[in-house]
Amino acid sequence: MNILCTNKKATFKYSLLKKIEAGMNLHGWEVKSIKSGHAQISESYITIKNNEAYLVNAHLKVLATTSEPEKANSKRSRKLLLNKREIINLNNEIKQNGHAIIPTKIYLKNSLIKLEIAVGKGKKIHDKRADIKNREWERAKNRVLKKK
């Protein structure tokens, strides 16, 4: 598994409950852009319309080698390839529990580009502060142990 892009803000803003692997419906220039490392999913999210899941607001840089760069839309909605049962379960999570669906990383699996999405619950400000304190405490503890 070769990780091409990660969403570091997802673990900070949300407490992730379960993760699902999804394929993406991409154009040729988008595949080349992702493989060359020009993808950004930090501000993106997943929506469900007409029993189909879409990746919204993901930015893929239009490369200079694209055949028609003026027609290429770098922030278009991209359809996710999921089973019907998975889409229904995700839709129920959104409607009943008020959770969000967040993309966490893009990676290669057997030369296919996959997107890992996670169902998450938004963190409150005090939860984020507690995470920062715990992280700083772990770093300080590791520094002290390393010096001994």
Flag whether 40 is in a domain: yes
Residue labelled with tokens 């949300």: 14
Q: How far apart are CA 5 and CA 37, in angstroms?
A: 7
Is there a domain that residue 9 lies in? Answer: yes
Instruction: Return the percent helix, strand and coil in the chain, to nearest 5.
Output: 35, 35, 30
In this structure, is residue 24 part of a structural domain? yes
CA-derived radius of gyration, the chain: 18
**Is the predicted pLDDT of residue 101 greater than 70, yes or no?**
yes
Q: Is residue 140 part of a domain?
A: no
pLDDT at position 106? 96
| Averaged confidence pLDDT in the chain | 90
Domains in the chain, number: 1
Q: Is residue 141 part of a domain?
A: no
> In the prediction, which pLDDT does 24 show?
95
pLDDT of 70: 59
Confidence bin at 69 (pLDDT 50/70/90): low
Which strand (E) or helix (H) includes residue 114?
Answer: strand 112-122
Residue 18 lies inside a defined structural domain of this protein: yes
For residue 137, being part of any structural domain is answered with: no
Give the pTM.
Answer: 0.81
pLDDT over 70, % of the chain: 96
pLDDT exceeds cutoff 90 at 138: yes
Contact 107, 3 (CB under 8 A): yes
pLDDT of residue 128: 85
Q: What is the CATH number of the domain that holds 29?
A: 2.40.280.10
The answer to whether residue 93 is domain-embedded is: yes
Q: Which domain holds residue 97?
A: 2-123
What are the structure tokens assigned to 113, written together?
């580009």
Structure confidence by residue, pLDDT tens digits, 11-67:
888 989 999 999 999 988 889 899 999 999 999 999 999 999 999 999 998 877 776
Q: Which residue has the higher pLDDT, 123 or 90?
A: 90
Q: Distance of CA 93 to CAs 55, 78, 86, 100, 119, Å?
A: 17, 21, 11, 8, 8
